């Protein structure tokens, strides 16, 4: 699958950034601008997101294959990879299959665990997000403000609604449509919530390059009990907590995150 991407920076070692669920490459432009003097940066829209193609199939095997094709198409021999949330899991899966292609691995606020059977505000929110977006009748939608009003019935957070509305645009006929493939995301959500505790991961140690896990201080995506699995799979891991941030820490403290990325990869 040929993925849409944005390129920022023209010199330095290659750096690939993978967004999270419901996100797109433009979510990371602010951070990329802070990094552009140090890296050649590729901001990728993953399948079923942004301007990349849609597919009925959606899992980490496919996201990993998409990234491998991207490396080949752009003649990237090795790169550092940053992955946030879903993008972090895609990066971990890719690191298992193609460790020889990675210089550094940076995982932003996600653990390698299975989130399917864990009751948490985050997963409840994900279910609510999907249901809410699917419930909006795009054929009757007259404005983004109307969409926001519909979303507000189930989603209280103005910031979250604003983030989700970035995926709403008008097509060439002037009609509203989602850039997200909501049907595929809904049908394959268990694949995305899935983790790497399965039999094929039991005796796996992924090494040969430095690994950084960045946790938002106020986020519940990485818990203390997750560190055992993280250190088992990635024995050379550094864990870093970014203060006063939640799950979208790249939007909350882009400068602090960019400083940590630069120091980790280049020092």
The pLDDT score that the predictor gives to residue 49 is 98
Angle ∠(206,211,214) on CA atoms, nearest 5: 130
Q: How many CB atoms lie within 10 A of CB 10?
A: 10
Distance CA 69, CA 29 (A): 23
The pLDDT mean for the chain works out to 94
- Which residues form the catalytic set? 85, 247
The pLDDT score that the predictor gives to residue 111 is 96
Q: Over the stretch 210-243, which tens digit does the pLDDT of each residue have?
A: 999 999 999 999 999 999 999 999 998 999 999 9
The percent of residues above 70 in pLDDT, for the chain, comes to 97
The pLDDT score that the predictor gives to residue 121 is 64
Q: Over the stretch 56-72, which tens digit does the pLDDT of each residue have?
A: 999 999 999 999 999 99
Q: Which ranges in the chain are annotated with CATH 3.40.50.1820?
A: 5-116+194-266
Closest CA to 26 of 47, 2, 4: 4
Distance CA 12, CA 18 (A): 19
Topology of domain 5-116+194-266 in CATH is Rossmann fold (3.40.50)
Q: Over the stretch 88-144, which tens digit does the pLDDT of each residue have?
A: 999 999 999 999 999 999 999 999 999 886 666 666 678 889 999 999 999 999 999
Residue 172 has pLDDT above 80, yes or no: yes
Mean pLDDT of the region 169-192: 94
């Amino acid at each position: 699958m040929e993925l849409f991407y944005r390129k920022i920076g023209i010199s330095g070692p290659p750096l690939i950034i993978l967004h999270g669920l419901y996100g797109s490459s433009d979510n990371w432009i602010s951070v990329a601008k802070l990094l552009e003097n140090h890296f050649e940066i590729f901001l990728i829209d993953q399948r079923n997101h942004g301007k990349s193609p849609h597919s009925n199939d959606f899992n980490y095997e496919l996201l990993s294959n998409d990234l491998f094709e991207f490396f080949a198409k752009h003649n990237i021999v090795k790169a550092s990879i940053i992955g946030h949330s879903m993008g972090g899991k895609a990066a971990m899966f890719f690191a298992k299959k193609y460790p020889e292609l990675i210089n550094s691995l940076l995982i932003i606020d996600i653990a390698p665990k299975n989130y399917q059977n864990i009751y948490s505000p985050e997963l409840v929110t994900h279910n609510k997000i999907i249901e809410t977006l699917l419930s909006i009748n795009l054929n009757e939608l007259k404005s983004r403000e109307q969409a926001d009003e519909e979303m507000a019935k189930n989603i209280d957070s103005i910031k979250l609604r604003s983030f989700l509305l970035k995926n709403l645009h008008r097509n060439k006929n002037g009609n509203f449509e989602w850039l997200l493939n909501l049907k595929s995301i809904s049908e394959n959500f268990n694949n995305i919530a899935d983790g790497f505790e399965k039999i094929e991961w039991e005796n796996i140690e992924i090494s040969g390059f430095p690994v950084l896990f960045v946790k938002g201080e106020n986020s519940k995506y990485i818990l203390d009990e997750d560190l055992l699995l993280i250190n088992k799979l990635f024995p050379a891991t550094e864990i870093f907590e970014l203060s006063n941030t939640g799950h979208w820490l790249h939007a909350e403290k882009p400068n602090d995150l960019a400083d940590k990325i630069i120091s980790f990869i280049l020092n």
